[in-house]
Structure 1
Amino acid sequence: MGDAIELAAGDYRAAVGRRGAAMCRLAYGGQELIWRVPPDEPPPASHGLLLAPWPNRIRDGRYTFKGVERQLEVTEPRRGTALHGLAYAKPWLPVEIGSDRTRLTCELDGSDPGYPYRLELTADYELDAADGLTATLGARNTGDAPAPYGMGAHPFVSVAAPMDDAVLKLPASRRLPVDGRLLPSGAPEPVEGTEHDFRTPRPIGATAFDTAFTGLERDADGRAWTVVASGGTSVGVWGDASCGWLQVFSAEGLPEELNRRGLAVEPMTCPPDAFNSGTDLTVLEPGERTSSRFGIMRLAQAG
């Protein structure tokens, strides 16, 4: 795995890349639970990336914060958006490496176009023999002005072909309508009675996703679980109470070997274009910290 940080616990194996602190591998008993990618190559379709200080898209890369208009780099030219934040392209410094855990840090120094705010980011990955992979992404405002902030993660759960046969459980009661640029076009709508209602597990079939969901059902610990059962294995992806949104993407339009061969399950603290809408946007005051947790594990019972 080249320069990856490799972790092990029980039957689990994981690897984390030093660029972007990206998830490069998670396997159980030799079975890959997410796409496995070399840490020194750009991941396909943003797989495994940590998304900060914003997840998803910002319309035209432009937003106004505290009365000042800012222009970010447009990193998705065909849709004219700033996509998935800044941290994924940065080098992260490992400050702790153990057999089953690692901590990496990254500094946003205010020099990025359109984001003149200073943040210290931390990514903690812990692998547990029973609970799989848990990640904690933290942010601290090290500057002297308030900073807009949101985060997300972008793992693709491996799906045995054909995806149509995979069984999906989504904990969401509402979905966000979008326009042709995948930007919000209205308020969240109920999923009841639509093709996007997977609150009761059922096969994915021909359903295509590139969809943000909210209204998430949670367990007693405040975690919202998405479960994908495929090829005899169930994989659970969870986000903590800070992650009020979930983006799901069914890998349409990717190269043939990846097309509908994975389901991106992306816990997010805010929806697409939150720098403009303000919906669930975190504003970090100077010196203030925030953190969010998500995890991935193999579940004992398939289906």
Structure 2
Amino acid sequence: MRDPSGRNLVLSNSSYRAEVVTVGATLRSLTHGDQDIVAGWPVGEINPQYRGWIMMPFPNRIADGRWSFDGTSHQLALTEPARGHALHGLTGWAEWEIVDHDDTRASLRYELPPQTGYPFTLDLTADYELTDEGLRCTLSATNAGTTAAPYGTGHHPYVTLDRRLDDLVLTMEAATYCPMDERCLPEAPRPVDGTEFDFRGGRPIGDVVLDHPFTDLGSDVVTLADPASGRQVRMELGDGFGWVHLFSSDPHEGAQHRATLGLEPMTCPPESFNTGIDLVVLQPGETHRAWFRLGC
């Protein structure tokens, strides 16, 4: 029987092991030794909760699926029916083509065709490379059409240290965040000063509920650490990623409740197709690249 996630590409070296699947060019697993760094899902099952997704050509949500560009209005399918939004882009369930794969690298490609709600043509690539520092992921988009195309991207790993988030220490030097309304849409960016969302210098997450975008990053490194075991997960943000979205998995039930942290590098916040905040506009033939690295 065919795996719902497509082909499983294994990368490994002396320290790390990763699995990348062809449906969505998604990161299925990442381990250091015998310990999980990201929460994956079993072979033979459909990807739950958008784990390890690449979000192209927009990350997170577009309210009501409606947006305008150059004087033209567009309507995307509502892929989050409960809230009535378009969610996490258009490529997560698509089968990507394998360009290259060896013991430590996997490169995948997808030609995004123009379609209802997004009438633009993009050539997309996802390059994963395993090194002694962890897994580096580079996301690229080239405008293969004849008109300017709005664009954003992000990645959606759930990191884990095998215990509830409440006791873990989050360090993120972000000076700005967006409060979220009841439909999980961002309000105007504001300083983290004096709020429970200030993790500069590092502090336990405690009972803070997170589903928020952050920016003005004073450091390109975000860490989640367990003081009891000494374990940590470390994300390095490279060129192109100026935002991080944090999600504390509160809506997940049972053992998944507050057991993982969505640590999502993004080029722009939710709703950027409407607000224009850090929206990339690709001219014909232009390429945008962004990378991050995930390790210990």
State the TM bucket, normalised to the shorter chain. Answer: over 0.9
| 2:119 is aligned with 1:119 | no
Aligned-partner Cα distance in 2 for 1:171–1:22: 27
Seen in structure 2, the aligned counterparts of structure 1 residues 232 and 44 have a Cα distance that, compared at 3 Å, is: farther
What is residue 227 of structure 1 aligned with on the other side?
A: 223
Aligned-partner Cα distance in 2 for 1:27–1:293: 19
Give the letter for the 1:242 counterpart: G
Q: 1:159·1:263 contact (CA, 8 Å) conserved in 2?
A: no
What is residue 251 of structure 2 aligned with on the other side?
A: 253
Q: Deviation of residue 159 (structure 1)?
A: 3.1
Q: 1:238·1:267 contact (CA, 8 Å) conserved in 2?
A: no
- Range with greater deviation from structure 2 (251-260 or 132-141): 251-260
What is residue 236 of structure 2 aligned with on the other side?
A: 238
What is residue 44 of structure 1 aligned with on the other side?
A: 48
**TM-score between the two structures when normalised by the length of structure 1:** 0.93
Aligned-partner Cα distance in 1 for 2:40–2:180: 30
Q: 2:161·2:232 contact (CA, 8 Å) conserved in 1?
A: no
Q: 2:61·2:87 contact (CA, 8 Å) conserved in 1?
A: yes
Residue number among 265, 269, 272 corresponding to 1:271 in the alignment: 269
**TM-score between the two structures when normalised by the length of structure 2:** 0.95
Aligned-partner Cα distance in 1 for 2:135–2:246: 19
Which structure 2 residues correspond to residues 1-303 of structure 1 after superposition, within 5 A?
A: 3-38=7-42, 40-111=44-115, 113-128=116-131, 130-185=132-187, 187-218=188-219, 224-230=220-226, 231-298=229-296
Give the letter for the 1:225 counterpart: V
Q: Secondary structure at the match of 2:183?
A: coil
**Any gaps of 5 or more consecutive residues in structure 1?**
219-223, 299-303
Q: Deviations over 1:217-247 (max 9, x none)?
A: 13xxxxx211011343111012223111110
Q: Deviation of residue 257 (structure 1)?
A: 1.8
Q: Percent identity?
A: 43
Seen in structure 2, the aligned counterparts of structure 1 residues 256 and 122 have a Cα distance that, compared at 3 Å, is: same
Q: Deviation of residue 59 (structure 1)?
A: 0.9
Q: Secondary structure at the match of 1:180?
A: coil
Q: 1:17·1:39 contact (CA, 8 Å) conserved in 2?
A: no
Aligned-partner Cα distance in 1 for 2:221–2:264: 11
Q: Secondary structure at the match of 1:46?
A: coil
Q: CA RMSD in A?
A: 1.4
Seen in structure 2, the aligned counterparts of structure 1 residues 137 and 40 have a Cα distance that, compared at 3 Å, is: farther
Give the letter for the 2:110 counterpart: C
**Any gaps of 5 or more consecutive residues in structure 2?**
none
Aligned-partner Cα distance in 2 for 1:146–1:79: 30
